[in-house]
Chains A and B, each alone.
Chain A
């Protein structure tokens, strides 16, 4: 993780953890995979819909509490869909709850761990912290012997996402990189 992401991660990880805590205070769901749809809909009151015609990966309309996801991308990878949704929630928690109100349109190349401009990077860091909380990743990494595919299943994220997360947490030995 670069210095910029590290500084973003400090407050962002706490926000993601707080959101998960709030969810489990109200709902009784399995711990993994992190129920990002339920967090969006049941806890935060968002409407989450998909549209094949969307020319971006995800779109957040704060005034309407609406998230639009690209339908084609969502069908091609559930992990990708969950990450995009978590990314949009990152905009909401990290930016709009701090006073910004403009809609966000997020292109595919800006969604993913370690990519994008500042606001997008912050949303990406949040998405990674929300879907793959560090304590749970460490615990499951031991249980599953760092089996990257099994971890991707367990957290319901894409392979690149879990791999980058493991690298950021310095969990991958050199011979696995």
Chain B
């Protein structure tokens, strides 16, 4: 019995306003996300699995746009026509905080898609038992939900589908409303497979559990590795080499370009950038230019026009005064005035400075992106 597992498609996600797909006249990043979803569906149809699982955050918001809903329905229509049953659970992004307005999952349900959003539910597909745990804002309740669905020893297989983080598993971006399971809790149940959603980077935290990862890169905290549809062969068994296979899908290039600016003048920085991007495919890329340890006067003297020209093929460029922050003068006792340096130096011993830095960085990322958008 084979399963295809995807998660975190975030249909309806938008970024870099003003950057439109010329043919569809929609936000380019929104189109990228739709394309990734449709590619994942087409890949699934080629693989002909016994079941398609979406482990949460189908939509980027709990009130998706009609276009996002149409994209979702179109994907599920293709799966239905290929006679591939599908199940989807609600993740933290797709779950409304106030349920009085209804849920978009009701629409999916009316169109014959097995959608689980109101509470834990066990669903059977031809001998396979799928335990679905939609997003729950309290970790204790989520664990209780998982434990409330007993394993079926007579089934051909037991699969758990859950949307949550995992304590200790680092992610370089932060979300509101997210919860995490303890690693030991994940190891509790004797499931044949655990289809996880929430973390955007593909990872295998335990022998029988996989985060499929998102289908597009949605932020600079998610640059490593390729994006893929995950195929699981339950008959091969967890631990065997055929248990998990990944089928990569194309994504928009997203990369960071770090330039070590210490000791460079403004023209040196531009020259260093030119050398750094030599041979790098930048057409259509989303780029963060990290100017590390740049001196304040060099920053102000930079020829931004020249930099823009060098990166003109990119979809979007974020200029970032990176690691180390602005260096205000080499004769100062504390040359590094960045928040990171301050946090590492001054944080109380019971607080993890790296976690605080990552959280702060995510806020700064957000603010920088907003500022860049305003400037456009």
- Which A residues are within 8 Å of any B CB, using their own CB? 75, 143-150, 152-153, 159, 173-176
Contact = CB atoms under 8 A, between A and B. Distances in A.
B186 A147 contact: yes
A148 B205 contact: yes
Nearest to B191: A145
Contacts, number: 55
Contacts of B209: 145, 147
Contacts of B141: none
A147 B183 CA distance: 7
B243 A144 contact: no
B187 A176 contact: no
Interface of B: 166-169, 182-184, 186-187, 204-209, 238-241, 243-244, 349
B183 A146 contact: no
A150 B207 contact: no
B341 to A, nearest CB: 15
B4 to A, nearest CB: 15
A173 B243 contact: yes
B143 to A, nearest CB: 15
B240 A147 contact: no
Contacts of B182: 150
B241 A174 contact: yes
A149 B166 contact: yes
A10 B186 CA distance: 35
Given A149-B166, A149-B168, A149-B169, A176 B204 contact: yes
B184 A150 contact: yes
Contacts of B167: 149
B183 A145 contact: no
Contacts of B238: 145
Contact of B206 (A148, A152, A159, A174): A148
* Most chain B CB atoms below 10 A, which of A145, A149, A173: A145
7 contacts: A144-B206, A147-B186, A149-B166, A150-B182, A175-B244, A176-B204, A176-B207
B206 A150 contact: yes
A153 B205 contact: no
A107 B182 CA distance: 33
B241 A149 contact: no
Nearest to A150: B183
Given A149-B167, A149-B168, A173 B187 contact: no
B166 to A, nearest CB: 7
A140 to B, nearest CB: 10
A53 to B, nearest CB: 16
A173 B239 contact: yes
Given A173-B240, A175-B243, A175-B244, A145 B208 contact: yes
Contacts of B169: 149
A153 B184 CA distance: 9
B210 to A, nearest CB: 8
Given A173-B241, A175-B241, A145 B207 contact: yes
Contacts of B244: 175
A153 B206 CA distance: 14
A149 B205 CA distance: 7
A173 B241 CA distance: 7
A173 B183 contact: no
Contacts of B207: 145-147, 173, 176
A145 B241 contact: no
A107 B240 CA distance: 39
Q: Which 7 A-B pairs have the closest CB atoms?
A: A147-B206, A149-B183, A150-B183, A146-B207, A175-B244, A147-B187, A145-B207
B206 A175 contact: no
A147 B239 CA distance: 12
Contacts of A175: 204, 241, 243-244
